[in-house]
Amino acid sequence: MNRDIDFDKSKLSIFASYIRPHGAAFALDMGLSLAVALVDLAFPYVTRQAMNTLLPESKFAAFFTVMAVLFSAYLLRAWFQYMITIVGHRMGTLVEADMRRDVFLHMQSLSFSFFDRNRTGVLMSRVTSDLFEIVELAHHGPENILTCSVTLLGALIILLTINARLTLVLIVLLPICILFSVRQRLNMQDANRDVKVKTGEINAAIESGISGIRTSKAFAAEKAEDAKFDLANEAFKKSKVRYYQAMGLFNAGIEATIGIMQVAVVTAGGLLIMRGELDFVDLLTFTLYVSTFISPIRKLVQFMEVYAQGSAGFDRFVELMRTQPEISDAPDAEVLGGVRGEIRFDHVSFSYQEGTQVLDDINLTVSPGETFALVGSSGGGKTTICHLIPRFYDVSSGAVLVDGKDVRHLTQESLRQNIGIIQQDVFLFAGTIMENIRYGRPGATDREVIEAAVRAEIHEDIMAMPDKYESFVGERGVVLSGGQKQRISIARVFLKDPPILILDEATSALDSVTEQKIQRSLDLLSKGKTCIVIAHRLSTIRNADRIAVIDDQHIVEQGSREELLKKDGAYAALERAQSQA
């Protein structure tokens, strides 16, 4: 995240902070825009002077020279407009890239709980469509405000010098136009904010539908997915229609006001000519300036849509950037080094934000190099215990300690660098096998990656693929088998080589033959490390040094397998149930 920007300041200040690094492009854009406005203001004035002085005095050569200069000025104006388009949009693209970088880095810093509450499609919408509309605002906003302000103010001043009474007609009608514009702009902004929300929801529905396409086909549930999408699509359609209704009313009202202005000026001008208080040249000049006057109003009308969309997107951007991580490093956090691997839970209780109690007064100690297994019914809190060690969540009370140090007093980076996690649901990035294994240690050489694959017993499978280590794994590793994905994730942890290992049901979804292969890899990986294993298949933890049974938020018993079988308690009951099954 850009640490130079204070997101607690006003939104205008935040917006200016993103423009500031591109000040040269911004200044050029504003300078060219000002030049365009001055050319527009000069044409009626120069024309009036030429018609009042040059033509009556038969200075035809001078007249055509002035017209040639105006012709050249408009050619130059066209070039200015060309440059404004290029420079302005380039600056807008740079601002968009800066914002996208900041919002992506900021989301990387947010805690697990944030992503528990927000759907991927909604967040994607904030990083893509919202930012694109902010870019249009960044480019057209300052440019339109400058050109329209200069043109309107300049035209009014010149019109007052031509005929003050005729100018008063415009001055009386202008506040009506402004008040109507402001009121409808607010309606458009509210409607567009709703469109943003519905766009995020429909993106989430699309993302969910595409990600889960295999599941929906397997259950022949395409119609159910269609119905969910139709619901989101209908809500999006209604919000979009409401927005266009607000925009239509805005455009129609502005066009009516502009038309009334033109009719009122011609009517009042005709009356003044009848009285001999205005000549035809001044009325023609006045009419030209009214067109110059109306042009920025039309531009502002068009800009209102860009503003409504861009400001709604910017509001959502700032809202996200102001979201603080629920877990952050303490000011005096120390770096964890020289890890022995002792893990201790000291009277730990944990509840999710919605108040669901998951753990209650958990006390346990895992010695360095020990293999400690957690078993019990689903939802008992086994995975939550493992999530508290790398501090994905903070305890509600008590403390989790690594080598006697409270994890809340350690930097998150150093803590997680010393912990390797292998889960049942393996996530592979859409890249090559080499890239996915190297994720365990980005600076590793190709040779080290291959050595990790050999130790994870996946090397032969990789070499049998057409592109070997450069083979693409597809979206979430879809082209690989479950066993291959699991062994790639193991190779990733081999490469990382952390002193603490967490195995969260790493083999429960695999067949027996594949499980045996992977179990050999896991046994090799966990050698000499502190290892915490969550297992449903009790056969995979027969060699664990100690086993704890979790049930209903508590540890109901713990000890070696032999000790627990002698107790004939909860663990013995689990083994009997599995052997009968």
Report domain extents, the chain: 11-321, 343-580
The tokens for 581 are: 């099954």
Chain mean position to CA 379: 31
CA distances from 334 to 345, 355, 398, 408 (A): 20, 31, 20, 10
CA distance 5 to 9: 9
Instruction: Please choose, from the candidates 361, 387, 408, the residue with its C-alpha nearest in 3D space to the C-alpha of residue 556.
Output: 361
Q: Give which of 48, 84, 76, 73 is closest to 63, Cα–Cα.
A: 48
Helix (H) or strand (E) holding 514: helix 512-526
Please give the CATH number for the structural domain made up of 343-580.
Answer: 3.40.50.300
Phi, psi of 554 (to 5 degrees): -125, 160
C-alpha distance from residue 5 to each of 8, 16, 321 (Å):
9, 10, 10
Cβ partners under 8 Å of residue 216, min gap 6: 209, 222, 224, 225
Q: Which residues are registered as beta bridge partners of 252? A: none
Distances (CA, A) of 191 to 185, 240, 246, 304: 10, 8, 7, 13
CA dihedral 297, 302, 304, 306 (to 10 degrees): -150
Burial classification of residue 276, based on how many CB atoms lie within 10 Å of its CB (0-12 exposed, 13-18 middle, 19 or more buried) = exposed
Answering whether pTM is above 0.95, one says no
Of the options 2.60.120.40, 1.20.1560.10, 3.30.300.30, 2.40.160.20, the CATH number for the domain spanning 11-321: 1.20.1560.10
Q: What is the pLDDT of residue 89?
A: 81
How many whole angstroms separate alpha carbon 533 and alpha carbon 550? 13
Q: What confidence tens digit (pLDDT) does each residue in 117-173 have? A: 777 767 777 777 777 777 777 777 787 788 888 888 887 887 788 778 877 877 787
**CA gap 139, 141 in Å, rounded:** 6
Convert the pLDDT of each residue in 298-351 to its tens digit.
677 667 767 777 777 788 888 888 888 888 888 888 888 888 888 999 998 888
> Could you give the angle at which helices 120-127 and 60-109 cross, rounded to 10 degrees?
150
Element (H, E) at 156: helix 129-162
Backbone angles phi, psi at 44, to 5 degrees: -60, -40
Rounded Cα–Cα distance for residues 279 and 376 (Å): 97
Q: pLDDT confidence of 506, banded at 50, 70, 90?
A: low
Q: How confident is the model at residue 510 (pLDDT cuts 50, 70, 90)?
A: low
**Which of the residue ranges 59-73, 264-278, 294-308, 521-535 would you say has the lowest mean pLDDT?**
294-308
Identify whether the C-beta of residue 35 lies closer than 8 Å to the C-beta of residue 79. Answer: no
Structure tokens at 181: 């514009």
Structure confidence at residue 214 (pLDDT): 55
Residue 38 has pLDDT above 60, yes or no: yes
Q: How far apart are CA 118 and CA 110, in angstroms?
A: 12
Rounded to whole angstroms, how far apart are CA atoms 188 and 86?
Answer: 29
Condensed to tens digits (0 to 9), the pLDDT of residues 540-571 reads 777 888 888 888 788 888 888 888 888 888 87
- For residue 445, CA distances in Å to 236, 355, 448, 466, 565 come to 49, 47, 5, 22, 47
Q: What is the mean pLDDT of residues 256-264?
A: 76
Q: What is the DSSP string of 436-497?
A: HHHTTSTT--HHHHHHHHHHTT-HHHHHTSTTGGG-B--GGGTTS-HHHHHHHHHHHHHHH-
> For the segment 21-31, what is each residue's pLDDT rounded down to a tens digit?
888 888 888 88
Q: What is the rounded distance in angstroms from the CA atom of residue 64 to the CA atom of residue 262?
A: 30
Is residue 350 within 8 A of residue 396, CB to CB? The reply is: yes
CA 61 to chain centre: 62
Paired tokens of 31: 């300078």
Span 392-447, pLDDT tens digits = 888 888 999 999 899 899 888 888 888 888 877 777 777 788 888 888 888 888 89
Q: Which of 65-69, 280-284, 558-562 has the lowest mean pLDDT?
A: 280-284
Q: Using 50, 70 and 90 to split pLDDT, how confident is the model at 1?
A: very low
- Continuous H helices in 322-411: 382-388
Average pLDDT value over all residues in the chain: 79
